[in-house]
Every structure is written in C-alpha cells, then in structure tokens.
Structure 1
Amino acid sequence: MPTLLHLNGPSGVGKSTLARAHSDAHPGTLVCDIDELRSWVAGWEDDFVGTGEAVRQTALALMTAYLRTGRDVVLPQLIVAPAQVDRFVAAAHVAGASYVGVVLDAAPDVVLHRLHHRTETPVTAVISRIIEERGGDPLVLEGRLQLLDLAAANGWPVVDTTDRSTALAELAALVP
C-alpha cells in the first residue's frame, strides 16, 4: 500500500531537507513541495496565501494521482489547521494509500538558528519576509507549540531533527 508521508513542522526545522533525503533513500518516492509548486505561478510572491490555496488543490490532485500508481509521496508542508490536514488524509484514502503524519521538531534555538541560516532561495526569502511581517521569531515558536499540540491530538509521532541521520532512520521506520 502506498503511503503519503506528511512532514509537518515549523519553518526552518528541516522539512524540505529531510523530504529530499528520505526520497533519495526510497527511489520512486515523489517529493510534493507545495511551496516550490507555488513558485511556478506568476505573481506568487505578492499573493503567497492565495496562490498557496490554489496550488494546494493542484497538489492534492497530483498526490492522489501519484499514490494511485502504487508509489509513495512525501509532503514537506507546515499545516496547523486540522481541517487542512483532513484534506490530505482524505486524498490519501481516496487513492487507496495510508497517511502518516509526523511533526518534525528541534529545540527552539536550533529551529531559529536553522531558519535564519538556511540557504536563501526565492521561496525561502518570501517565507522569511512573511514570518517577519507577522511576528518574527515569536510567531515561529508559537507555531511550533501549536504543532506539538496537533501531534498530540492526532497521535502523530514527533521526530527530533537535531541529528538528521537519526531523524531519517525514524522516518524510514514509520513508512510501511
């Protein structure tokens, strides 16, 4: 049975990095990075949220179609709203796949250090700008706590990303 592995976590925790490393270790796995897909839409920088919703619909269709081929998908995406998570769970089930939700975490100082020192791309630059406009580091740390609550409410494992090798091994053990 194919699996949709949702790597949730605060900005800077390593979702995209671990998604790529996980897929490299599991050939045939699709990395569906919604933030990267968003950057394919003209004007996305000025309408990040609106473009994100449109692209999220597209990503759901893409993931459902890919899972139906019998292959796995890894989704590195920060989602705090339970209703949004439910959309991805439903897409996996429609495709005959399992959904595995995981919250990636690290100590607050590690998350903030990674966030402020990650390689700048057009996507990370816009995300950093939005984080600053909406409250900066306190916003990130508040979101981290909300994600830990979401993990507890859904029975999801929390994987510490401080050591990436250990985190990758834990992720591999979660996918049937």
Structure 2
Amino acid sequence: MQINPSYNYRDITLNSGVYQAAKEVLCSRCIHPVCADFAALRCHDFTPALKFKPPLRGFDNATFNTFRCGVAWSKRVTPGSLVALVNAKTDEAFGYAKVTAAHVGEKRSMAELHGEFNHSIQALEIKTNIADVMLKRLKNSSGSMIYNNNDKVTVIYLERLTEYLSEDIEIGKEKEDLAT
C-alpha cells in the first residue's frame, strides 16, 4: 500500500481517541489497511504513517522504538494507536505497528534513557556510546535544521504487528459515534 508523498499532519488533532482534520479530509493522509470512507473529517481508525529512511533495519523485533524531533508526534499517537511503517524512499508501507508508549523529553536524556531500544541501534548491535550514536543518527535522519531547531524529542515505542488486521485493533467503529 502506498501513501500520498505530500501528506501533512499539521492540522490533525487527536482528542478522546478520535482524529480530526481542520482543513482537508483525513482519508488523503491515511494509510489504514481497510477503510470504506473516503471523505472523513473525523475518524477513530485514522492511521498515520511513520516514515523511515532506508536501509530499513531493526523492524523484525517484536518491540522497538523510534525517535522523532519535536513534540508533535506525542500529540498524534497514544498507546493503542495503529501506525503504518513506511519506506521514505518509495512511500510504500512495509508493515504496521501498535503504539505502546510515547515519551517526550530533552534529546540527550531521552537518548540515554531510550536509545538502546531504538530499532537501528538494536539492529546494528551497538553496545557502547549508545546516546552519542543515537543523537548522531537522529541528526542524520532528521536533517541538521530540524535537529538543531528542536530541543525535545518524542520517543514512540512500537509493537510490530504480524498482521495489520488483528483482534488488538478496533476496526470500523460505528459512524454514529463520530456524530457526537
């Protein structure tokens, strides 16, 4: 499944488990594997895409985390949220995961606390200077400008789903719920 490469999540909010778009429909920015609605402004099942630059490593682990510059992602996902794992080069989904936690903090302290559980750190089997390596990888993946303009990071813990339709995920909540 492929996403629209020009998607943007800036106007999307998550309140009480319902995603809402202020401007354009959510569907054009969603990568939910099964959906019958193509014009929703509010949705329980909206599935944001977490992009990863190749080489794609460390996604075979059952659980891992990803670091994102800034605090925006802490407002987009909560424990239980479904996210698509997307190859940033091809815009193709290569898997799905369930968010188990999201933490926000200063870059250095978050790298020290959570770096060892990062997908690429685990895949590369890095055992020393983990925080320094994590911060270097974050700067390389985010770009210098984004990295330097953000004092904080969001660390998202993910549980890889072997099937994207799982009993752990609620699909297709009643549309009447959204009218309230």
Q: TM-score, normalised by structure 1?
A: 0.30
Q: TM-score, normalised by structure 2?
A: 0.29
**Higher relative contact order, structure no. (Cα contacts within 8 Å, ≥ 6 residues apart):** 1
Q: Larger Rg: 1 or 2?
A: 2
* Greater fraction helix: 1
